Amino acid sequence: MRVQVFGAGAIGCLLGYMIQKAGYDVTFIARGKQLEALKKGLRITGLIEDFVPVDVRNKACKADVTFVTVKSYDTAIAAKELEGKTEIVCTVQNGIGNEDVLAERIGNVVGGVTSYAANVVDYGKICYAGEGETFLGDWKGKGAEIVAEILKKAGINVEVVSDVKRKKWEKAVVNAVINPLTALLRIENGKILEIEEVWVIAKEIAREGQRLMEAMGYKFDAVGMVKEVILKTAKNKSSMLQDVERRRRTEIEAITGEIVRIAKRLNIPTPVNELMLRLVRGLECSMLSY
């Protein structure tokens, strides 16, 4: 079975590495400096120390299963490039709406949520920072069981669930707390709990997300889940903080932006989430203008 990883960032490289080590034929799709670095091989540090040669290309190729791990703002580009080239696509991305974008062009779409942690150290080098859980579910067509079997053989903790949309929203609400605060304040996840003034704001962001999820029919202890995730990932840098440190565009629109937009349609106030959205937008403008 041929597996493709479209987007060779931290999570894409980690998944691709583990799947390749399980014996699958894996191709990585990358661009720019990452493409050139991976041509020399992929180095893993952290929980695993290894260096492996990898098959890396700059354009999508034919594959049985493709994992999409690009930033949410590049999902439409990925969908267009993958059309007609893959039997099953599994998105393992932050934010809301990626599955629907992929489903416009691809027949079998699997939604995925993971709490595995990885950080980019340098081009061609990542740090495997923490083991986690992965949840999969069929979004359009079929494929979740096939993808789950691949991940299980790779030693990845995975479960197929009947309502992956709920899992996507739970993660989005948690990310809407952790990502903007860590990016704006330049702090590791654990500092959100340690600094009382920050934790007060975090709880308000979480409660707004909880009210939105309850309006969609989901019971959810948002503050409890945020606290649990922070404790498990205290020393981690969020993906948004990593983006800011590398002066890159963030995924704020697909996370907080979607929460705010959908809440407005449902007449649910989200003033603190709106503030986070505007602050990160402002940070992006100031950061990307230099």
State residue 164's pLDDT score: 96
Cβ neighbours of residue 285 closer than 8 Å, sequence gap 6 or more = none
Residue 49 confidence (pLDDT) above 90: yes
Catalytic, out of 71, 171, 227, 237: 171
Percent of the chain with pLDDT over 90: 95
Mean pLDDT score, 216-221 = 94
- Domain boundaries 2-162, corresponding CATH code: 3.40.50.720
Residue 40 vs residues 5, 126, 174, 212, 285: alpha-carbon distances, Å: 17, 14, 36, 46, 35
Rounded CA separation 14/36 (Å): 18
Rounded CA separation 167/161 (Å): 9
State residue 288's pLDDT score: 77
CATH 3.40.50.720 domain range(s) in the chain: 2-162
State residue 83's pLDDT score: 97
Residue 290 confidence (pLDDT) above 70: no
40: confidence class by pLDDT, cuts 50, 70, 90: very high
| pLDDT tens digit sequence for 219-232 | 999 999 999 999 98
CB-CB neighbours of 32 under 10 Å: 9
Rounded CA separation 56/275 (Å): 40
Residue 212 confidence (pLDDT) above 90: yes
| pLDDT tens digit sequence for 103-162 | 999 999 999 999 999 989 999 999 998 899 999 999 999 999 999 999 999 999 999 999
62 is catalytic: no
Rounded CA separation 195/199 (Å): 6
State residue 251's pLDDT score: 97
- What mean pLDDT value characterizes the chain? 96
Q: In this structure, what are the phi and psi dihedrals at residue 250, rounded to the nearest 5 degrees?
A: -95, 175
Structure tokens at 120: 């980019």
Rounded CA separation 167/149 (Å): 20
State residue 30's pLDDT score: 98
Structure tokens at 137: 């579910």
State residue 248's pLDDT score: 92
Nearest to 138 by CA among 169, 165, 173: 165
| pLDDT tens digit sequence for 181-206 | 999 999 999 999 999 999 999 999 99
Q: In this structure, what are the phi and psi dihedrals at residue 117, rounded to the nearest 5 degrees?
A: -115, 130
CATH 1.10.1040.10 domain range(s) in the chain: 165-288
Rounded CA separation 59/9 (Å): 15
- Which fold does the domain 165-288 belong to in CATH? N-(1-d-carboxylethyl)-l-norvaline Dehydrogenase; domain 2 (1.10.1040)
Q: What is the DSSP letter of 105?
A: T
Residue 235 confidence (pLDDT) above 90: no
State residue 281's pLDDT score: 98
| pLDDT tens digit sequence for 8-30 | 999 999 999 999 999 999 999 99
76: confidence class by pLDDT, cuts 50, 70, 90: very high
